[in-house]
A and B are shown apart, each in its own frame.
Chain A
Amino acid sequence: MKKLFIILSIAALLYACSGGGDNQNTSGSDSQTGDLFKEGKPDAEDEAKGIGKFTDVEISPTLDVKMAETGKGIYDLKCNACHKLTKEKLVGPGWSGVTTRRKVEWILNFTTNPDEMLNKDPAAQALLEECLVRMPNQGLSDDDARHVYEFMRQNDGVK
């Protein structure tokens, strides 16, 4: 027993020496510790841009119909399982009005970088608290996300 204790304590010491660093991300996991959650507002208009590569995106005031069409194809394949085009919540929130609620950067960051957003972004975490299913990473490319955003704008009445 004594031996075991000493071996264990060495193991613990070794572990302590190995330091932090490259800890693997637990992406896709449903389990998150509670204290990670910060106050966020799921519905209110939000100026936050989220976390990801999109920091400053220029959007034309008029709709690019072709982009929106491509975006609808992606929506049908990868998004509509959980998001309706109305305000009604299915698994995730309905998309109606989303482009006025959120900054374009936030939407592009959330759709391309959902795991980090769900781990760190207050608004994304508030949505998770409400929906209880982590938005899956659906493997959208930057272009895919931009096209889907154009479709969201069309859905919100942009001409």
Chain B
Amino acid sequence: MKKKMIYVSMLALSVSALLYSCKPKGPSQAVTGDAAAKTYVAPGKYDAFYDFVSGGFSGQMAVYGLPSGRLLRVIPVFSVDPEKGYGYSDETKPMLNTSHGFVPWGDLHHIALSQTDGLHDGRWVFGNENNTPRIGRVDLKTFRTAEIIEIPNSGGNHSSPFITENSEYVVAGTRFSIPMDNTNGDVPINTYKKNFRGTVSFISVAPEDGRMKIAFQILLPGVNFDLARAGKGKSHGWFFFSCYNSERANTLLEVNASQRDKDFVMAVNWKKAEEYLKAGKGEKRSVAYAHNVYNESTHSATSTIEKEVTVLDPKDCPDMVYFMPCPKSPHGCDTDPTGEYIVGSGKLAAMIPVFSFTKIQAAITAKNFDGEYEGIPVLKYDAVLHGEVKKPGLGPLHTEFDADGNAYTSFFVSSEVVKWRLSDLQVVDRVPTYYSIGHLSVPGGPTKKPWGKYMIAYNKITKDRYLPTGPELAQSAQLYDISGEKMKLILDFPTIGEPHYAEAIPAELLTKNSTKFYRIEENKHPYVSMGEKEAKVERKGNEVHVNMTCIRSHFVPDNIEGVKMGDVVYFHVTNLEQDWDIPHGFAVKGANNAELLIMPGETQTLVWKPDRTGVFPFYCTDFCSALHQEMQGYIRVSVAGSSVPITFSTGTNQPKETE
């Protein structure tokens, strides 16, 4: 064995020597010789990390294994997913309800894994919706969306869903300021400065079941809130939000929101906000927003329209909110593992300002202010600055951290990641990305103890990196090994939609809790069939309810008659299986809908409105056994007013055969 290992390492050495000796051709030059061995996960072996990656304009969340970059699952969150029946089955449609009605699409930008004591606890992962402002919570036992809450008084939920160190809150800062929901919004757009306001919302997360509730909103000047991070450790109790457009422009922001030399990072003392809330300083405002919750025992979602939110105005709540000047339209706003440093990244700047929490506290105590902005005190830049990273690159966006005091900042304009030291702000390494990196992530990067090992770049442009696929190309992630002094590119992998932020977590924190199937005995769906004996077809006026079962490999019933034109047919399909990885699918010809994909022990409902008379086949869409192809049935549709009675059967013809 030892001999073999020596042989392998010698061979590996000689191979890397070979690779180095080859003349670099194009972008592949950045790959080191042992990249294959570092990312190879043999068939049947598991990856070390789950990587939860935002799907951007796909509206979904993708799960990749690291270091292989293999796609493990796409979790539908804010967009319908016909493959899984999400947003198509009667049970899941309420998940996409909003105060605007059913919204089938969303834009998911950022990921937040739940934390306890500043460390990943593997319970939930949150994602924000940027367009119709919402936050979604995915249960990491089932990898399914468990809850979605809409955010009122928000124009676009970009600054979200970043999380506090004990998952007390996830936040939602509005990207676009707007007239508030309870005012007459029908105003000239050029009255922006007078009528438009911003808000940040603190959404509490119930420790026992993760249930979200908008605890309070803070009413703010009409700037654009961009990104955010919670304080941690010594800065626990504070939240930091970057904001741009302090010019409060409402047109041609590209130019008009880039006038001032400095915008702000906003510091919110949320413990103080809690005190004001308790003291009754909040104002209840009437709004409307949807709160959608999936119930795993009824296998159904409910959507409730909530009518009220409590708003705290900094005018009535001194010492709750401060602004810190930050150069050139700050984007990223990231706190280091100790909670002492807050890294602002002006996306048009050629330096990175690093703020010190200790200095912020001292400046507040000494009232070391540089005036006010719309009634909110502005702290003196020099008084709160730990220092600036000089000439690191062009267009800093986001910063992540390892456990050894290093920071990794992405640079969009110069397409690179720069590694620098928090202690002396010196740049120690830089690597190119292919191309135009946006977010980056280090496993555990936003926690108190980063897992480190890898850094993943999420790029906006791929151009020549993959086989061309017409005008639209895959977006991509790039995996770097950061275990040594130098960052090393070891893998490219394409992603779904557009990858914005992502978080990775060690696999063992999730695998042990993974649900394998739903217990049929605990199924409380109103139309469940607890065994084939309960399968039936019932007419209620023009509704025909089919309580159907499926198991390898037949449906009960599989012959149905007595449906008439004008009827609405509800297929309530219960999967009787109690084994892992045995879903059954259900599809019926001509349904203006999607399939159902029913997990073991679950009941799901497909609504079908026949548009013509005849006999229509239905079948199982998910290969389930050697006799899967036999898993089928027929439903007969007769003319309106027909006297064909409701009958149903499996195995024996019902009604009996006639000539």
Distance between Cα atoms of A136 and B520 in the complex (Å): 14
A108: shortest Cβ distance to chain B, in Å?
A: 17
Closest A residue by C-beta to B628: A30
Main SS of the interface on chain B?
loop
Q: How far is the CB of B620 from chain A (nearest CB, A)?
A: 13
Q: Give B304 Cβ to nearest chain A Cβ, in Å.
A: 33
Cα distance A80–B529 in the bound complex, in angstroms: 13
- Known A136-B578, A139-B578; judge A10-B531 contact (CB<8 A): no
Question: CB within 8 A of B15: which of A3, A15, A77?
Answer: A3
Q: How far is the CA of A11 from the CA of B12 in the complex (A)?
A: 10
Return chain B residues, CB-CB under 8 Å to A10: 8, 11-12, 15, 36-37
Nearest to A132 among chain B residues (CB) is: B626
Q: Are A138 and B554 in contact (CB under 8 A)?
A: no
Task: Collect the chain B residues with CB atoms within 8 Å of residue A139's CB.
Answer: 517, 519-520, 578-579
Residues from 306 to 357 in B contacting A, C-beta threshold 8 Å:
none
Decide if A17 touches B579 in the complex (CB within 8 Å). no
Cβ of A147 under 8 Å from chain B: no
B468 to chain A minimum Cβ distance, whole angstroms, is 22
Interface residues in A69-83 (C-beta closer than 8 Å to B): 76-78, 80-82
Residues of chain B lying within 8 A (CB to CB) of residue A76? 530-533
C-alpha spacing A144/B578, complex, angstroms: 13
Interface residue? B40 (CB, 8 A):
yes
Q: Are A133 and B11 also in contact (CB < 8 A) when A76-B531, A81-B549 are?
A: no
> Which residues from A are CB-within-8-Å of B581?
28
Query: Is A24 an interface position by the 8 A CB rule?
Result: yes
- A57 proximal to B (CB < 8 A): no
Known interface pairs A24-B44, A28-B581; A11-B37 also in contact (CB < 8 Å)? yes
A27 CB–B CB distance under 8 Å = yes
> B552 touches which one: A24, A27, A91 (CB < 8 A)?
A91
Q: Is B466 at the interface (CB under 8 A from chain A)?
A: no
B651 nearest in chain A by CB position = A90
* Chain A CB within 8 A of B18 CB: yes
In this assembly, does B556 line the interface, its C-beta being within 8 Å of a C-beta of chain A?
Answer: yes
* Residues of the B chain whose Cβ atoms lie less than 8 Å from the Cβ of A78: 520, 531, 576, 578
Measured between beta carbons, the chain B residues less than 8 angstroms from A81 are 531-532, 549, 551, 554, 556, 576
With A6-B15, A11-B36 as contacts: A17 and B578 at CB distance below 8 Å: no
B42 to A18, Cβ gap below 8 A? Answer: yes
Q: Measured between C-beta atoms, what is the minimum distance from A93 to chain B in Å?
A: 15
Nearest A residue to B579 via CB reads A137
Q: Contact string, A110-144, partner B, CB cutoff 8 A, digits 1/0?
A: 00000000000000000000001110111100000
Contact check, A13 vs B11: say whether CB atoms are below 8 A apart: yes
Closest 7 pairs (CB-CB, A-B): A139-B578, A137-B579, A77-B531, A81-B551, A76-B531, A138-B578, A132-B626
Residues of A within 8 A of B (CB): 3, 6-7, 9-11, 13-15, 17-18, 23-24, 27-28, 30, 76-78, 80-82, 90-91, 132-134, 136-139
- Taking A14-B37, A14-B40, A76-B532 as known contacts, 7 extra A-B pairs with beta carbons closer than 8 A to each other, sorted by chain A number, are A3-B15, A6-B11, A13-B11, A14-B8, A81-B576, A134-B552, A138-B579
